[in-house]
Amino acid sequence: MKQNRIFNFNAGPAALPTPVLEEIRESFLNIAGSGMSVTEISHRSKIFDDIINEAIERTKRLLKLKDNFKVLFIQGGASLQFIMAPMNFLSDNKTADYINTGTWATKAIAQAEFLKKDINIAASSADKNFSYIPKQFNLGKNSAYLHITSNNTIKGTQWDKFPDTGGVPLIADMSSDIMSRVINAEKFGLIYAGAQKNIGPAGVCLAIVREDMLSEIPDNLPPMLNYSVYSDKKSLYNTPPCFGIYVIGLVLKWLEETIGGLEKMEEINRKKANLLYNLLDSGEFYKGTAQKDSRSKMNVTFRLPNEELEQKFVAQAMENNLGGLKGHRSVGGCRASIYNAATIESVETLASFMKEFETKNG
């Protein structure tokens, strides 16, 4: 008989911490003694002002952001950021550099090209089916920024160390590994992350902009596509995704107060990933798709000997309360997304199932 909740390895929308879901359930009909749900209160109210300010302050503490960083909440997901970043930061007399490491980087490049901007592909791992993170890159002349995708959900690769740009602003799509490890935020001019993979529900994107970047923004942008407007209006130019911001705040509270910060979260994530990668490396039945020095600690991608076995693996895993293990439709195979909310117990249970499945089908 199935348990009420499965171990959720979906890539996004993905698992949320159980204590966060329980807190949402307990307070949903009556937030902060208001007699209303968080989905009903005014975004101009004192209650919501406290909610968004707490989310901002927790973001700053967890990432050790200095006062020169603005924390913004924007609708449209990371996909909107693909075009917002070049609209705001790539003037006609400059070049933008992109490192292409797979699907989401490719989409970001396409949006910059849609604007008919000057784009330079500084490096790419397309030559080996995006199975690795490039070690070398070449910046174009008069570069406005270098854009990277910090973690690649589909191909299962991740930047271990971020590139040294020599003063050129670094922009990163961190949708799938934001808040999973300690980073040096000073390296970045812009960090953006769709919430639905690692910090909250779908519908809101966290953007962190270094203040000096705002001076580069042209005056003729529509307000809803202008980072300065979000900064000046504290993400309240229009009605923001209130529920999503509320949940992000709760997830950050869980990270800070229950887990103990990003140092501890990084340690846990490394342990989870090692459990699965050690298993992949222990025999011939499972084969990881990412090169070992580029492996993601968030998305473990692997193949079985044939597609028939992969389908059987996914189906039997679901029968054992292990969900979301089918690989992305564009590449097939299998994938375990082990974001922050995935517990060590869930990964241990998955590893045990994988060993059993190999014994029966190997």
Query: Catalytic amino acids?
Result: 104, 173, 197
Distance CA 159, CA 152 (A): 9
User: Sheet of 299-303: strands edge to edge?
Assistant: 287-288, 299-303, 334-337
Please, which residues bridge with residue 335 across strands? 301
Contact call for residues 152 and 132 (beta carbons, < 8 A):
no
In the chain, count of helices (H) and strands (E)? Answer: 10, 14
What kind and span of H or E run contains 124? strand 119-124
Rounded to 5 degrees, φ, ψ at 107 are -65, -40
Find the Cα–Cα–Cα–Cα dihedral 175, 97, 104, 198, rounded to 10°.
-10
Task: Report CA 10 to chain centroid distance, whole Å.
Answer: 13
User: H/E element holding 172?
Assistant: strand 170-173
